[in-house]
Amino acid sequence: MPSSAAAPVETSLARIAAEVASVLDRLVAEPGDLERVLDVLTEADRVFVLGAGRSGSALRMTAMRLMHLGLDVHVVGETTTPAIRAGDALLTASGSGTTPAIVRAAETAAAVGARIAAITTASDSPLAAAADALVVIPAAAKLDRSATASAQYAGALFEQVVVLVGDAVFDALWQRSGLDADDLWPRHANLE
């Protein structure tokens, strides 16, 4: 439990911003398969998005933006999500790369001929092994309490960067598309 003389929120914001900036700088310097992720998504007939917990929430944001771009996107687990098939893509995130449901979904996707784009901290994980395009985020995994890669709690840095990588993927695809904001706007939710 934190001490009663807790640090101000501004201190936390500065620490979080510094950690995120450090990870993003490393991703810019060594982007890995980020360009391949773009290809996997644009070449897919349909895109399926899957993550558990906060990683799943982060990827739902990406799913929405990809839909705004005009991709046929489904969030795994929703009642209207169809079966994945050859020609589709699975975009997934798991800090550990070992989350059983995520790994099983990636194996199922691969077995039917879909391609997998995975975001993880663990390049040697089962999820990484299944991926056609792999983005390794240099952040602490959920169970890393060493405060070496991040002083934040339980994989928060990974999840924050997943949001930003998702936005960067969307933005890069949008720039490639030649569409402007007015072209995307009609797909924005109007039942809010």
Longest dimension (CA), the chain: 56
Q: Phi then psi for 59, rounded to 5 degrees?
A: -70, -25
Contact partners, residue 111, CB within 8 Å, separation at least 6: none
pLDDT for position 124: 95
What is the reported pLDDT for 1? 44
CA quadruple 78, 154, 40, 169: dihedral positive or negative?
Answer: positive
Written out in words, the top-level CATH class of the domain with range 10-176 is alpha beta
DSSP one-letter code for 142:
T
Catalytic positions, written as ranges: 159
Measure the CA–CA gap between 97 and 35, rounded to whole angstroms.
20
pLDDT of residue 3: 54
Q: Tens place of pLDDT for every residue, the chain, 192 residues?
A: 455 566 799 999 999 999 999 999 999 988 789 999 999 999 999 999 999 999 999 999 999 999 999 999 999 999 999 999 999 999 999 999 999 999 999 999 999 999 999 999 999 999 999 999 999 999 876 666 666 778 787 889 999 999 999 999 999 999 999 999 999 999 999 997
User: What is the rounded CA–CA span in Å between residue 161 and residue 106?
Assistant: 21
pLDDT of residue 30: 86
